Structure 1
Amino acid sequence: MNSSQDIVTHALPHAPSLIQRPARAIPAALSVSWARSEAEVREAQALRHQVFAVEMGARLTPPKGAPAGLDIDLFDAYCEHLLVRTPGEDGEPGPVVGTYRVLTPAAAKRAGGLYSDTEFDLTRLRALRPRVAEIGRSCVHADHRSGGAIIALWGALAEFMARNGLDTVIGCASVSMRDGGHFAASLWKQIAATHLAPIDCQVRPRLPLPIDHLRQNLNVEPPALIRGYLRCGAKLMGEPAWDPDFNTADLPLLLRTADLPARFRRIAG
């Protein structure tokens, strides 16, 4: 699930001390941990830049003076950052190949809201917000999108949610609009037919994707990350928003931890 930009110059200056122990390794070939230093956050931001700017063509607007080759925005300082790594040499940590960040309800208050508030009217979620964690900037390196990294991310998230008394996750899953948006419109139509959330959990985009002017009948395959979310029980909260800076259509997703497959609930327990 994705997001956008402004100021971050410190690692986690406002982050709450929620992380009591490292996330476990899932599966064995990958390791999962929460960033504990500015250097580790920078590794996540470098992977995000590679995926969003280089691969997807996003127009990032980092803060003045920010190092080149990083994706940085104002929400980073308030979030916990999860890292998936491949094995390194001589016992050293390997490179980061998957990441997302988590914004808790308390941190969202300090940040002035959720990132999703900038893209969607979340009025109908008001009653849920004290128990909602927002995940954003989700990405996996192109060489590791077969499923293992996504399983690792979601297993660690389930454990985090259980430990902190949270029961709902929301976020935006981004789809490239390099084809003008026809793929995104068709994907929305396809997923909405089977995974639309109940009306009391639906939201409205502030800048809607112009679905009615796009093809909606293409036979499309959801991107790996979105397939992973849906397999974990995620529901689509409404029509996609258009993010001109990232050149993406952003699909709003919601997942209740009670809907997670049994293997993730076992991890959380």
Structure 2
Amino acid sequence: MAAVEIAPTVNPVTKAKKPSFQIEWASSSSEVKEAQRLRYKVFAEEMGANLSQNAEGLDIDEFDAYCDHLLIRDQDTLKVVGTYRVLPPHKAQEIGRLYSDAEFDLSRLDHLRPKLVELGRSCVHQDYRSGAVIMALWSGLAQYMQKNGYEIMLGCASIPMADGGHFAASLYNSLNSDQMAPTEFHAFPRLPLPLDKLNGGLEVDAPPLIKGYLKLGAKICSSPAWDPDFNTADLLTMLRLSDINPRYAKHFLGL
């Protein structure tokens, strides 16, 4: 797939600068490793996730071979600074499940599987956590969805649990009915966060990625599941292209 460049805002008086970020899809094993190396750096080294160790410092699991890997590259350094992996429906059928199946009972969503892609392992290098990289990631995803005719994105939005889960419980309790998916699309955690044992009444602000999902028009489909390997509380999140906030539809979808 051809690379797409995201241009920075340029003062019209100054000479135009080279675009800051480039959107790519990994087309070789070495490019997949760049994504896996960033994931290991963020999840294991920074966040303390319990990942299987390997000599190259890569985050690898069995789903990687079935996924398409989105890369955001710094134009100046050529370093990969953001990534998502995307499991398309025909590859999910090939491996026999979604990653989310391990965390949730998805039986109410079974009829949607032919139309949905699963997003996972999203991360941004700690030096690049600005809106620009997230926007570039979402632009790449939108182009992918349109090109392939897919309708629904599904994935786990993760909330760090360094405080033992009180923040995650409070965030879930703060969601309003408009931010929750209809009951017929609810999923059920296999290892639920024990909400009744946590302080769920704190005033909290959603992490940037979850806040961005909700602004786009995504819906939360579950109460939090606890992922012990990553020590996160995961909310199953679904975004239909038809539900994208009109404010963003023009930017991402050209509508």
Distance 1:24 1:117 in 2: 33
Superposition CA RMSD, Å: 1.6
Which residue of 2 is the match for residue 24 of structure 1? 4
Residue 200 of structure 1 aligns with an amino acid whose one-letter code is E
Contact persistence 2:86–2:119 (CA under 8 A): yes
Residue 87 of structure 1 aligns with an amino acid whose one-letter code is Q
Distance 1:129 1:265 in 2: 27
Residue 236 of structure 2 aligns with an amino acid whose one-letter code is P
Moved more, 100-109 or 136-145: 136-145
Seen in structure 2, the aligned counterparts of structure 1 residues 55 and 179 have a Cα distance that, compared at 3 Å, is same
* Structure number with larger C-alpha Rg: 2
Which residue of 2 is the match for residue 50 of structure 1? 41
After the TM superposition, which parts of structure 1 deviate over 6 Å for at least 4 consecutive aligned residues?
none
Residue 150 of structure 2 aligns with an amino acid whose one-letter code is L
Structure 1 counterpart SS, 2:79: strand
Contact persistence 1:49–1:70 (CA under 8 A): yes
Contact persistence 1:176–1:247 (CA under 8 A): yes
Matched, 1:77 2:65: yes
Structure 2 counterpart SS, 1:58: coil
Moved more, 99-108 or 225-234: 225-234
Which residue of 1 is the match for residue 29 of structure 2? 38
Contact persistence 1:173–1:226 (CA under 8 A): yes
Distance 2:126 2:112 in 1: 34
Please report how far the alpha carbon of residue 209 of structure 1 lies from its aligned counterpart in structure 2 after TM superposition: 0.7
Which residue of 1 is the match for residue 134 of structure 2? 150
Task: Count residues with an aligned counterpart.
Answer: 242
* CA offset digits 1:54-102 (Å, max 9, x no partner): 121110125xxx433111110000000000111225xxxx111110000
Which residue of 2 is the match for residue 87 of structure 1? 75
Q: 1:64-213 residue pairs with structure 2 within 5 A?
A: 66-88=54-76, 94-213=78-197
Please report how far the alpha carbon of residue 111 of structure 1 lies from its aligned counterpart in structure 2 after TM superposition: 1.3
Contact persistence 1:26–1:155 (CA under 8 A): no
Q: TM-score, normalised by structure 2?
A: 0.90
Please report how far the alpha carbon of residue 223 of structure 1 lies from its aligned counterpart in structure 2 after TM superposition: 1.2
Contact persistence 2:166–2:198 (CA under 8 A): yes
Contact persistence 1:146–1:224 (CA under 8 A): no
Seen in structure 2, the aligned counterparts of structure 1 residues 130 and 265 have a Cα distance that, compared at 3 Å, is farther
Please report how far the alpha carbon of residue 175 of structure 1 lies from its aligned counterpart in structure 2 after TM superposition: 1.1
Q: Unaligned 5+ residue runs, structure 1?
A: 1-20
Please report how far the alpha carbon of residue 228 of structure 1 lies from its aligned counterpart in structure 2 after TM superposition: 1.7
* CA offset digits 1:142-201 (Å, max 9, x no partner): 222221111111111111111111100000011111110101111111135541011111
Could you say which structure has the greater relative contact order, defined with CA pairs below 8 angstroms and 6 or more residues apart?
1
Matched, 1:245 2:233: no
